[in-house]
């Protein structure tokens, strides 16, 4: 499907930048337009792919291009004040050619955390196409303020979008590596997963027609109904250019091998589907109770078959308990078979409950510290017997 992507804040801008790169590399055609919005000029300048004219600096009157620190209330305020500048950039893109908006932001910071929900609300008022969010949760080692920001942004963002796709930095940190050091790799993981998913609805004329193509409306239907989504992914390298016969081409004999190939293909698909659903999700959660799901199988068409996808789909129905599991293929000439599973409307998410708990503790601590420091300052400045008087 064709998306208008708007990256809000530093993480949002960088991720949209990577999506443009992915689009170029894979010819998937999902990014119809890309915009970056930030209150920090340096972050906008650091982007590589997003066209200069589509980089919008907001809040100049308030923060003079220096960003909002990690103050997401200020981030929300300046987004509201300067929403017209963002709208001007959106006016310049052909929104009639777009299937949906995707607003991307890190939820732990300031500009994106506060601004992304404001923008989503604005877009919902003006446009009839769906507005999706891609929200990134901070690592647990980033500290209380980031957790508090993320918990508050999450609540608000979910309410303002048609669906919030969540990616949790914490569960993607490499052992021994700080989240910061690994952003490049993490961003690549993000675009691979969401790229395969959204690319499925965008099979162009020169690509082979899939046996059972996923189209944009199936992605939209899976995401409709709102709530929170997570994505599972698994892939396996395969050889390209094996032609239709696969093994039989190498062994040179007849139809018996073709049967074997079909069975292999089906088995590969079903095991990839299991790996994708039971492995690391973009937001870790219990998949049982998922409301709707979509299975996309990408790869060279000779490695895809209807039976495998149908089996994978049935298995997902059983695991999730959902009656609405869609599935289809996405042929592409890349030497890998990959399964992406969109689980939409997940509700059993212990990670979010923990995030909220830590956020509440951080909030209480911050209130205590502030009250204490006011008291301490008063004690320092005022003389004990109150004998001195200030000048005015």
Q: Which residues bind ligand GDP (CB under 6 A)?
A: 9-11, 14, 106, 108-113, 136, 138-139, 142, 146, 169, 183, 186-187
Q: Find where tokens 């937001």 sit.
A: 283
Q: Is 142 annotated as a binding residue?
A: yes
**Min separation Cβ 346 and ligand GDP, Å:** 20
Question: Has 72 been labeled as part of a binding site?
Answer: no
**Residue 8 in tokens:** 């809000």
CB of 338 to ligand GDP, least distance (A): 20
- Distance of alpha carbon 74 from alpha carbon 245, whole angstroms: 61
Specify the 3-state DSSP secondary structure of 72: helix
- Residue 49 CB, shortest distance to ligand GDP, in Å, is 14
Instruction: Based on DSSP, count helices (H) and strands (E) in the chain, helices before strands.
Output: 13, 10
Residues 273, 338: Cα–Cα separation, whole Å: 9
10 is in an annotated binding site: yes
10 DSSP assignment = H
Q: Which is nearer to ligand GDP, 9 or 312 (CB)?
A: 9
Please, which residue, 168 or 261, has the CB nearer to ligand GDP?
A: 168
35 or 293: CB nearest ligand GDP: 35
The nearest distance, CB 181 to ligand GDP, in angstroms, is 11
Is 230 within any annotated ligand binding site?
no
Chain centre to alpha carbon of residue 126 = 23
Burial of 387 per CB tally in 10 Å (0-12, 13-18, 19+)? exposed
262 known member of a binding site:
no
- The minimum distance between CB 71 and ligand GDP, in angstroms, equals 9
Q: Is residue 289 part of an annotated ligand binding site?
A: no
- 13 annotated as ligand-binding: yes
Between 138 and 331, whose beta carbon lies closer to ligand GDP?
138
> Residue 237 — φ and ψ, nearest 5°?
-75, 140
Q: Which is nearer to ligand GDP, 70 or 309 (by Cβ)?
A: 70
Alpha-carbon dihedral sign for residues 208, 209, 214, 215: positive
Cβ(80)–Cβ(156) below 8 Å? no
Return the number of the residue (148 or 210) whose C-beta is nearest ligand GDP: 148
Binding residue ranges: 10-14, 110-112, 142, 169, 187
Binding residue ranges for GTP: 10-14, 110-112, 142, 169, 187
């Amino acid at each position: 499907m064709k998306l208008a992507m708007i990256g809000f804040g530093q993480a949002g801008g960088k991720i949209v930048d990577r999506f443009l790169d992915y689009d170029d590399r894979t010819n998937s055609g999902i990014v119809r337009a890309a915009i970056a919005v930030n209150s920090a000029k340096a972050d906008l300048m650091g982007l590589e792919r997003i066209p200069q004219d589509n980089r919008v600096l907001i809040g100049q009157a308030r923060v003079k291009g220096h960003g909002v620190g990690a103050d997401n209330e200020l981030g929300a305020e300046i987004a509201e004040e300067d929403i017209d500048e963002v709208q001007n950039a959106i006016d310049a893109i052909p929104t009639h050619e777009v299937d949906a908006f995707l607003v991307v932001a890190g939820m732990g910071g300031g500009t994106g955390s506060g601004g992304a929900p404001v923008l989503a609300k604005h877009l919902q008022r003006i446009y009839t196409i769906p507005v999706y969010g891609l929200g990134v949760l901070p690592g647990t080692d980033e500290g209380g303020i980031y957790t508090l920001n993320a918990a508050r942004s999450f609540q608000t963002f979910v309410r303002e979008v048609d669906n919030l796709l969540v990616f949790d930095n914490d569960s993607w940190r490499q052992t021994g590596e700080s989240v910061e050091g690994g952003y490049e790799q993490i961003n690549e993981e993000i675009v691979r997963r969401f790229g395969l998913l959204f690319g499925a609805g965008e099979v162009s004329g020169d690509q082979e027609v899939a046996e059972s193509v996923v189209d944009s409306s199936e992605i939209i239907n899976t995401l409709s109904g709102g709530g929170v989504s997570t994505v599972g992914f698994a892939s396996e390298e395969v050889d390209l250019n094996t032609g239709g016969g696969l093994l039989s081409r190498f062994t040179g004999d007849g139809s018996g091998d073709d049967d074997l190939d079909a069975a292999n293909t089906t088995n590969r698909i079903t095991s990839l589907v299991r790996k994708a659903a039971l492995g690391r999700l973009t937001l870790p959660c219990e998949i049982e109770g998922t409301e709707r799901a979509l299975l996309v199988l990408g790869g060279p068409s000779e490695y895809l078959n209807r039976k495998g996808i149908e089996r994978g789909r049935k298995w997902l129905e059983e695991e999730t308990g959902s009656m609405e599991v869609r599935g289809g293929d996405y042929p592409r000439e890349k030497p890998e078979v990959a399964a992406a599973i969109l689980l939409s409307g997940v509700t059993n998410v212990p990670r979010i409950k923990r995030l909220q708990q830590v956020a509440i503790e951080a909030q209480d601590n911050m209130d205590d510290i502030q009250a204490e420091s006011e008291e301490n300052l008063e004690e320092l400045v005022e003389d004990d017997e109150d004998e001195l008087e200030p000048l005015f």
